[in-house]
Amino acid sequence: MAELRADVLVLGAGMVGVGAALHLQKRGRDVTLIDRHDTAGEGTSFGNAGLIESASVFPYMFPRDFGQILRYALNRSPQVRYSISDLPAFLPWLVRYFLASSPERAMRSAMAELPLIRRSLIEHEALIAEANVPELLRRTGWIKLFRSDATLANAAHELERARQYGVAGEVLDAKAIAAREPNLTGDFAGAVYFPAPGFVPDPGGLAKAYAALFGRKGGRFFVGDARTLEQTGGRWRVATPEGAVTAREVVVAMGPWSDQVFGPLGYSIPLSVKRGYHLHLEPRGNAVLHHPVLDTDLGYLLAPMNSGIRLTTGVEFARRDAPPSPVQIERALPRAHALFPLGAPVDAQPWMGARPCLPDMLPVIGKAPRHAGLWFDFGHQHHGLTLGPATGRLLAEMMTGETPFADPGPFAAERFG
């Protein structure tokens, strides 16, 4: 079979990879997307809360409150669970995560990511318009519910801090919660409503819509195994069933599987995962959920997806490829049924995915330090859907010699030595 040639290979067709491919294509590059699935958006991008989190200034850092840490350690927190058998595998990474979460270092991470957060919805709106899928963006914002005065007071404090960076929000009392979501039932101290973030009722479908746009503009998509990547004769080569595909440059955008490429190439980047689960359920009767709603103190979220009401869990620390253990879904189900009129499950079983995370909760974006033509774009933690197009733009600007819209320094792979 004849060798297929391109300017750039992008490995990974999730939201991050497709975002990078579109921005490179826009700048005149002949781009080929390669993924292990035959369609885009089938991995991590398929399962999330559907939020384009343009109001999320502060990353999800390791807590500093002793009581909260103790609940995590005893596996008694609804927000976080860990697998005891996998503890030796991820404990060293957790230590690095804790150290990177000091107030000073956490603020550095927040300020580094802020330009990307501010650009996130703008980039999505442009691509959604170009892909002609306006139905995949709802401007509803979202709601964080609180069941105790203490957690509500802490959230109100965090909102005031975020307002310094342009975040809009409103503290709701019980009456205001009922006005926005009349079908919710519970004893709430209050809530915080964030009006600015966009909501995507089919995250996997949005990645597919972007991939279809990429194809209409001349981009090629192949099923292939990124682990076959090799550098020969100044070009990068990946095997596919249609034959080898080569390019001068390659982008690793494989989310939690990126280590399968950078590891064999000799890079020691502390990529780990936070696993999560979701399950779709039918609404009962005429009940309608108008916003994504996070039941903060009980550690789950409900979102009104096209496939039904999506129940998503918090974080599970376990090996990426360990068998599913949907304990958090089982614990959340009765709580969710008490919050909102839910009917039968739509899915045969819960979906499981893995969020790719670095200890400082910043992605790796930029040139690999020891290989010509190798670029990284992975580790977007909880914000792959949010940041994919924005980091794709940043990477494309770096690769084509434009002035980057944000300082790329904090995202360099070299920060890990």
State the SS3 of 23-47. Answer: HHHHCCCCEEEEECCCCCCCCHHHC
* Structure-token pair, residue 118: 């501010």
pLDDT at residue number 70: 87
Q: What is the CATH number of the domain that holds 404?
A: 3.50.50.60
Question: In which domain, by residue range, is 34 found?
Answer: 4-47+204-270+360-416
**Is residue 8 within 8 Å of residue 29, measured between CB atoms?**
yes
Whether 209 maps to a domain, the answer reads: yes
pLDDT at residue number 181: 98
Q: Best-predicted range by mean pLDDT among 78-82, 89-93, 234-238?
A: 234-238
Is 251 a residue whose pLDDT tops 80?
yes
For residue range 337-380, what is the model confidence (pLDDT) as tens digits? 999 999 999 999 999 999 999 999 999 999 999 999 999 999 99
Is 53 a residue whose pLDDT tops 90?
yes
Q: What total number of domains does the chain contain?
A: 1
User: In the structure, what pLDDT confidence band is assigned to residue 1 with cuts at 50, 70 and 90?
Assistant: low
Is 77 a residue whose pLDDT tops 90?
no
Is 224 a residue whose pLDDT tops 70?
yes
Is 2 a residue whose pLDDT tops 80?
no
**Is residue 336 within 8 Å of residue 300, measured between CB atoms?**
yes
Separation of alpha carbons 179 and 369, rounded Å: 54
Separation of alpha carbons 137 and 209, rounded Å: 12
Whether 266 maps to a domain, the answer reads: yes
* Structure-token pair, residue 114: 């802020």
pTM for the model: 0.96
Whether 408 maps to a domain, the answer reads: yes
Is 258 a residue whose pLDDT tops 70?
yes
pLDDT at residue number 73: 85
Whether 265 maps to a domain, the answer reads: yes
Identify the H or E element spanning 215: helix 203-216
Whether 22 maps to a domain, the answer reads: yes
- Report the percentage of the chain scoring pLDDT > 70: 100
pLDDT at residue number 397: 98
pLDDT at residue number 66: 83
For residue range 95-140, what is the model confidence (pLDDT) as tens digits? 999 999 999 999 999 999 999 999 999 999 999 999 999 999 999 9
Whether 102 maps to a domain, the answer reads: no
Q: How far is CA 221 from the centre of its chain?
A: 22
Q: 114: which strand partners?
A: none
Mean pLDDT value across residues 15-27: 98
Whether 253 maps to a domain, the answer reads: yes
Mean pLDDT value across residues 73-83: 88
Whether 377 maps to a domain, the answer reads: yes
pLDDT at residue number 65: 84
**Is residue 195 within 8 Å of residue 170, measured between CB atoms?**
yes
SS3 content of the chain, % helix, strand, coil (to 5): 40, 25, 35
Q: What is the DSSP letter of 62?
A: P
**Is residue 11 within 8 Å of residue 226, measured between CB atoms?**
yes
User: In the structure, what pLDDT confidence band is assigned to residue 215 with cuts at 50, 70 and 90?
Assistant: very high
